[in-house]
Amino acid sequence: MYIGGEWREAVSGRRFEVTNPATGEVIATVPDAGREDARAAIEAAHAAFGEWSSLPAHVRARYMRRLYDLIVQNVDRLARVLTEENGKPLAEAKGEVFNGAEYLNWYAEETRRIYGETIPSSSRRTRIWVLRQPVGVVGAITPWNFPSSMVTRKIAPALAAGCTVVLKPAEQTPLSALLIAELIHEAGLPAGVVNVVTTLDPAAVGQEFLENRLVRKISFTGSTEVGKHLMQGAAAQMKRVSMELGGNAPFIVFEDADLDAAVQGVVISKFRNAGQTCICANRIYVQESIAPAFTERLVEAVRGLRVGHGLEEGINVGPLIDEAAYVKVEGHVSDARGKGARVLTGGHRLTGPGFDRGFFYAPTLLDQVSDEMRIVHEETFGPVAPILTFRTEEEVIRRANDTNYGLAAYIFTRNLGRTVRVSEALEYGMVAVNDSLLAVPQAPFGGVKESGLGREGGHHGLDDYLEYKYLSVVLD
Rule CB under 6 A: choose which of 40, 138, 183, 226 binds ligand NAD. 226
Q: Which is nearer to ligand NAD, 46 or 168 (CB)?
A: 168
What is the closest distance, in whole angstroms, from the C-beta atom of residue 411 to ligand NAD in the complex? 20
What is the total count of residues that contact ligand NAD (CB under 6 A)? 27
Decide: is 164 part of the binding site for ligand NAD (CB under 6 A): no
Helices (H), 32-127: 35-54, 57-73, 75-86, 90-110
Please tell me the distance from the alpha carbon of residue 363 to that of residue 346, in angstroms, as a whole number: 5
Decide: is 444 part of the binding site for ligand NAD (CB under 6 A): no
Decide: is 103 part of the binding site for ligand NAD (CB under 6 A): no
CA angle 13, 2, 27 (to 5 degrees): 65
Looking at 92, 96, 244, 450, which residue is catalytic?
Answer: 244
* Residue 25 zone, left/alpha/beta (φ > 0; ψ -120 to 50; rest): beta
Q: Which is nearer to ligand NAD, 22 or 453 (CB)?
A: 453
Please tell me the distance from the alpha carbon of residue 142 to that of residue 148, in angstroms, as a whole number: 9
What is the closest distance, in whole angstroms, from the C-beta atom of residue 131 to ligand NAD in the complex? 30
Decide: is 322 part of the binding site for ligand NAD (CB under 6 A): no
Q: Which is nearer to ligand NAD, 190 or 202 (CB)?
A: 202
For residue 393, indicate whether it is catalytic.
no
Looking at 163, 278, 280, 379, which residue is catalytic?
Answer: 278
What is the closest distance, in whole angstroms, from the C-beta atom of residue 39 to ligand NAD in the complex? 15
Please tell me the distance from the alpha carbon of residue 31 to that of residue 14, in angstroms, as a whole number: 6
Decide: is 244 part of the binding site for ligand NAD (CB under 6 A): yes
Rule CB under 6 A: choose which of 89, 100, 157, 247 binds ligand NAD. 247
Rule CB under 6 A: choose which of 206, 318, 346, 382 binds ligand NAD. 206
What is the closest distance, in whole angstroms, from the C-beta atom of residue 399 to ligand NAD in the complex? 20
Which listed range, 45-53, 179-187, 220-228, 255-263, lies at the site for ligand NAD (CB under 6 A)? 220-228
* Beta strands 15-19; 26-31: pairing state: antiparallel
Instruction: Give burial (CB, 10 Å; 0-12/13-18/19+) of 134.
Output: buried
Decide: is 377 part of the binding site for ligand NAD (CB under 6 A): no
Please tell me the distance from the alpha carbon of residue 259 to that of residue 297, in angstroms, as a whole number: 8
Q: Which is nearer to ligand NAD, 69 or 322 (CB)?
A: 322
Decide: is 384 part of the binding site for ligand NAD (CB under 6 A): no
Sign of CA dihedral 266, 270, 271, 277: positive
Decide: is 84 part of the binding site for ligand NAD (CB under 6 A): no
Cross-strand pairs, 117 = 130
Rule CB under 6 A: choose which of 83, 221, 242, 413 binds ligand NAD. 221
Asked whether 135 and 234 are in contact (CB, 8 A), the reply is no
Please tell me the distance from the alpha carbon of residue 233 to that of residue 318, in angstroms, as a whole number: 36
Please tell me the distance from the alpha carbon of residue 388 to that of residue 153, in angstroms, as a whole number: 34
Which listed range, 1-9, 100-108, 223-231, 412-420, lies at the site for ligand NAD (CB under 6 A)? 223-231
Rule CB under 6 A: choose which of 245, 249, 384, 426 binds ligand NAD. 245
Dihedral of the CA atoms 336, 451, 71, 25 (nearest 10)?
-40
Number of Cβ within 10 Å of residue 391's Cβ equals 10
**Residue 139 per-residue DSSP state:** E
For residue 244, indicate whether it is catalytic.
yes
Rule CB under 6 A: choose which of 171, 182, 312, 322 binds ligand NAD. 171
Interaction residues for ligand NAD, span 450-469 (CB under 6 A): 452
Sign of CA dihedral 133, 135, 138, 141: negative
Rule CB under 6 A: choose which of 4, 95, 190, 202 binds ligand NAD. 202
Nearest to 295 by CA among 392, 343, 369, 367: 367
Decide: is 223 part of the binding site for ligand NAD (CB under 6 A): yes
Interaction residues for ligand NAD, span 110-149 (CB under 6 A): 141-146
What is the closest distance, in whole angstroms, from the C-beta atom of residue 243 to ligand NAD in the complex? 8
Decide: is 273 part of the binding site for ligand NAD (CB under 6 A): no
What is the closest distance, in whole angstroms, from the C-beta atom of residue 57 to ligand NAD in the complex? 27
Element (H, E) at 134: strand 126-134
Decide: is 367 part of the binding site for ligand NAD (CB under 6 A): no
Asked whether 462 and 441 are in contact (CB, 8 A), the reply is no
Distance of CA 407 to the CA centre of its chain: 11
Binding positions for ligand NAD, rule: CB under 6 A: 141-146, 168, 170-171, 202-203, 206, 221-223, 226, 229-230, 244-247, 278, 379, 407, 447, 452
Residues that are catalytic: 244, 278
